[in-house]
Structure 1
Amino acid sequence: MFQERLKEVAGLVETRLQKALADDANQPVTEAMRYTLRGGKRLRAFLVMESARLHGIKDALNAAAAVEALHAYSLVHDDLPCMDDDDLRRGQPTIHVKWDQATAVLAGDALQTLAFDLLSDPACHHDPAVRIALVSGMAKASGIRGMVLGQALDIAAETAPDPLTLEQITELQAGKTGALIEWSATAGAVLGQADTTPLATYARDLGLAFQIWDDVLDVEGDATKVGKAVGKDSDAGKATFVSLLGLDGAKARARALIDDAEAALVPYGKDAETLRECARFVISREM
């Protein structure tokens, strides 16, 4: 059921994102935006759509598309030579490789603003207060209190005299990866003007497990399946969940987090089964 729903959401979001750019001129920046918006698991969009379904919201497509646009922006900038300097993303050349660095920066900037445009559109929700709550939440999740903070901590760690501790890596990843996953999982409750606590708990455990599994894949993943280079963290001597916990320890920690994530969904009963399947997928994926 999860895989079918994930595929369904991916198709809907792909159509919505391409429609958002349909009237824009065919210039390099727009083409780069369209290029980077194609593909991907659409896990964050899935979390938006499923959390919305739990709260009786029939149309959460703008919010789902918004988080994928914002996520795409973060990937474009993350791949730049001044950041992680990656040549491949989702098995394809990264934007700065296919075009150039200036186009990559501008495409990323435009994708970020597209996300907020989608959230502020009345089509997202009829109540302006709800739209403002979504915009405010995404700003916090993606800015200096969230994703940007995580990336800044990651960059600082590269030249730090000592490797990061487990607590420090957990804080870093809570911002870099976890904050946007939490926004996605709670967006449906915000749209439904309901309590976000159970889904926030679920998302925090899910987000940390997701990053731990990324570290696992960096060690034992197949680059052709992962869609980008593997082994970069160990080659660079970076502290990761695997380097601190060991491969088996990291896997065990990820499994324990997924158990906790599933437990947080108890208030929703059987209606949350697809979200439980999503949690199990996070620590079984090969990409």
Structure 2
Amino acid sequence: MTDFNEYASALRARMDAALNQVIPDTPGSQLAEAMRYSLAGGGKRIRPLLLFASYRAMAGGADHPALDIAACAIESIHAYSLIHDDLPAMDDDDLRRGRPTCHLAFDEALAILAGDALQSLAFELLADAPALSDSSRVQLMRCLSRAAGMQGMVVGQAIDLAAVDTELDITRLEHMHRCKTGALIDASVAMGATIGEASPAQLNALARYSRSVGLAFQVHDDILDVTADTATLGKQQGADIARNKPTYVSLLGLKAAQARAEELHQEALAALDELDGDVEPLHLIAQYVIRRSH
């Protein structure tokens, strides 16, 4: 395949165009503008990359018409979660991807509504996903809703907020992040594989891959929070320390956290050894997750 950065940049451009098309206009309101602002914030698009890469591992290079729609649904959920995470009642952040957070660029009420609208949009998109059976659409919606809700991302955020000024051991910290960050990464991989008609054995191997990649992503985020500057991160450096939130670095120390990220990377690669398809993009994404600078 081409260089990973070229591959990822091409897919990000494709996603930016697709995301711009799925937001209808909202005359008389800035709602659509706030939604587009949050979707088009220059994100890494890791979740769509994982969706396309897991599909490729199952079905080869041929595209499926549902991939772009499924990727837009995942990014809609991700953007909604970031809008709400940044609110004053949550993490109270001023910066997201180097720009003012949605509630500062617009206002708090509109930011809440934009998040709400993006969440519902995700499932509307999946309900109309092309070239899939009804049962496959339901399977995708079930996968994404579980990842986004009280068994995944939302409960992870609730645990995170409750953990401020408290002590968590490493087991509880990993559980929190497997929910808050890992669940949506798991869903991205599983949804791509589902569109690619993966077997139960293939889904199992990919689930072990995504579980390791999802946790590695968060471990590396915690490392960057103490090693990168605000301009590079695109959000406030040291924010977790300032809020007295438990992190992998605060619990393990920097060197041990870096070792844990590398251990998870190797676990992800070992899971891919069980697959016969084109897993090179999945390899490269796993490497990027623990080598990125922001």
Partner of 1:165: 169
Partner of 2:7: 5
Among candidates 253, 257, 260, match of residue 250 of structure 1: 257
What is the Cα deviation at residue 230 of structure 1? 1.2
Q: 1:54 & 1:22 partners in 2: Cα distance?
A: 33
Among candidates 177, 184, 188, match of residue 184 of structure 1: 188
Find out whether 1:98 has 2:98 as its counterpart: no
Q: 2:135 & 2:69 partners in 1: Cα distance?
A: 16
Find out whether 1:119 has 2:117 as its counterpart: no
Q: Larger RCO: Structure 1 or Structure 2 (Cα < 8 Å, ≥ 6 residues apart)?
A: 2
Q: 2:192 & 2:32 partners in 1: Cα distance?
A: 29
Q: Is the 8 A contact 2:56 2:196 kept in 1?
A: no
Partner of 1:52: 55
Q: Is the 8 A contact 2:182 2:211 kept in 1?
A: yes
Among candidates 231, 235, 240, match of residue 228 of structure 1: 235
Aligned partner letter, 2:132:
H
Q: 2:243 & 2:113 partners in 1: Cα distance?
A: 29
Partner of 1:14: 16
Q: 1:133 to 1:93 in 2, by over 3 A?
A: same
With normalisation by structure 1, the TM-score equals 0.95
Partner of 2:143: 137
Q: 1:122 & 1:211 partners in 2: Cα distance?
A: 30
The sequence identity of aligned pairs, in percent, is 45
User: What is the root-mean-square deviation of aligned Cα atoms in Å?
Assistant: 1.4
Q: Is the 8 A contact 1:33 1:111 kept in 2?
A: yes
Structure 2: gaps (5+ residues): none
Partner of 1:107: 114
Partner of 2:281: 274
What is the Cα deviation at residue 91 of structure 1? 0.3
What is the Cα deviation at residue 23 of structure 1? 4.5
Q: Is the 8 A contact 2:86 2:101 kept in 1?
A: yes
Deviations 1:255-277 (A, max 9, x none): 01001101111133571111111
Deviations 1:159-179 (A, max 9, x none): 5xx411101100000100000
Partner of 1:79: 86
SS at match of 1:268: coil
Structure 1: gaps (5+ residues): none
Find out whether 1:43 has 2:46 as its counterpart: yes
Q: Is the 8 A contact 1:212 1:254 kept in 2?
A: yes
Find out whether 1:32 has 2:37 as its counterpart: no
Aligned partner letter, 1:87:
D
Q: 1:234 to 1:188 in 2, by over 3 A?
A: same
Q: 1:24 to 1:236 in 2, by over 3 A?
A: closer
Q: Is the 8 A contact 1:212 1:250 kept in 2?
A: yes
What is the Cα deviation at residue 192 of structure 1? 2.4
Aligned length: 284
Q: Is the 8 A contact 1:90 1:227 kept in 2?
A: yes
Among candidates 156, 163, 176, match of residue 150 of structure 1: 156
Q: 2:4 & 2:110 partners in 1: Cα distance?
A: 36
What is the Cα deviation at residue 203 of structure 1? 0.4
Q: 1:137 & 1:80 partners in 2: Cα distance?
A: 26
Q: Is the 8 A contact 2:95 2:234 kept in 1?
A: yes
Among candidates 68, 75, 82, match of residue 61 of structure 1: 68
Structure 1 runs of 4+ aligned residues shifted over 4 Å read none
Please identify, of 233-242 and 41-50, the stretch whose mean Cα deviation from structure 2 is larger: 233-242
Partner of 1:286: 293
